[in-house]
């Protein structure tokens, strides 16, 4: 059993099935809502959501398709997808980093010895926005990171207008990020991952 399937807060959200008549055969259906780590097979769905979410706002994507596949091959356990009836509706992709501050290398590298999770991207499908799904997915992801004993903190870089959203998720501003993409400048934010022993005792980790 994978770590993610053992955590109560990452198990599927099942809706109570409607009552059926005794003579009606039982149909097998996908869970109404499911959270799981992503795989390389999810890369195209991830990229389609990311491209639509970011291109119109920033003009570029945090990760291109080959980079998504790269991270989902190297560290799929640091990703999380939200699926509704088998369809990807939101995702987070992360990798490990081993420096105090993010640098340009952090955009493409995974450092297996690192204790910092660099969150590359969080995006929600356009038809599922304005429903709080981004906040819920981030909460579940951060709770999941608490069960990984090697993780000490999570960091991300975002444009200034997104800092209120991440503040509400528990992140704190660290200052201007050293990384730039074209003319875009970013703010670096951090979330301390604490309580490993407590979470492992109380969540089945």
Q: What is the CATH number of domain 33-156?
A: 3.40.630.30
Asked whether residue 11 carries a pLDDT value surpassing 80, the answer given is no
Q: For the chain, which residues make up each domain, given as ranges?
A: 33-156
- Cβ atoms 88, 82 nearer than 8 A: yes
Mark whether 191 is an active-site residue: no
Active-site entry in 107, 109, 110, 196: 109
List, for residues 145-204, the tens digit of each pLDDT value. Answer: 999 999 999 999 999 999 999 999 999 999 999 998 888 899 999 999 975 444 445 555
Which residues have C-beta within 8 Å of that of residue 81, sequence separation ≥ 6? 35, 36, 37, 38, 42, 46, 88, 90, 91, 92
**How far apart, in whole angstroms, are the C-alpha atoms of residue 147 and residue 180?**
32
| Bridge partner residues of 94 (DSSP) | 119
- Total-model pTM: 0.81
Segment 109-120 mean pLDDT: 97
Mark whether 203 is an active-site residue: no
Mark whether 95 is an active-site residue: yes
- What is the H or E stretch that residue 192 is in? strand 184-192
Segment 110-119 mean pLDDT: 97
Active-site entry in 10, 38, 95, 96: 95
**How far apart, in whole angstroms, are the C-alpha atoms of residue 118 and residue 96?**
6
List, for residues 63-106, the tens digit of each pLDDT value. Answer: 999 999 999 999 999 999 999 999 999 999 999 999 999 999 99
Mark whether 33 is an active-site residue: no
List, for residues 17-72, the tens digit of each pLDDT value. Answer: 445 444 454 455 556 889 999 999 999 999 999 998 887 666 677 899 999 999 99
Q: What pLDDT, on the 0 to 100 scale, is given for residue 4?
A: 45
Please give the C-alpha separations between residue 138 and each of 56, 74, 80, 190, in angstroms, as whole numbers: 22, 21, 9, 13
Mark whether 64 is an active-site residue: no
Q: What pLDDT, on the 0 to 100 scale, is given for residue 16?
A: 46
CB neighbourhood size of 7 (10 A): 19
């Amino acid at each position: 059993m994978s770590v993610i399937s053992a955590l109560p807060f990452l198990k599927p959200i099942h809706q109570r099935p409607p009552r059926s008549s005794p003579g009606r055969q039982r149909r097998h259906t996908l869970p109404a809502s499911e959270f799981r780590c992503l795989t390389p097979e999810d890369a195209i769905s991830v990229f389609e959501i990311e491209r639509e979410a970011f291109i119109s706002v920033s003009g570029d994507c945090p990760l291109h398709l080959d980079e998504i596949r790269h991270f989902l091959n190297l560290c799929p356990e640091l990703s999380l997808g939200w699926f509704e009836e088998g369809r990807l509706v939101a995702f987070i992709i992360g990798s490990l980093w081993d420096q105090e501050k993010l640098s340009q290398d952090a955009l493409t590298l995974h450092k297996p010895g690192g204790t910092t999770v660099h969150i590359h991207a969080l995006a929600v499908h356009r038809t599922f926005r304005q429903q709080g799904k981004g906040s819920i997915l981030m909460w579940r992801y951060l709770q999941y990171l608490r069960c990984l004993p090697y993780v000490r903190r999570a960091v991300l870089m975002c444009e200034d207008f997104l800092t209120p959203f991440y503040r509400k998720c528990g992140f704190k501003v660290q200052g201007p990020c050293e990384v730039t993409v074209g003319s875009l400048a970013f703010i670096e934010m951090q979330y301390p991952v604490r309580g490993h022993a407590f979470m492992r005792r109380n969540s089945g980790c």
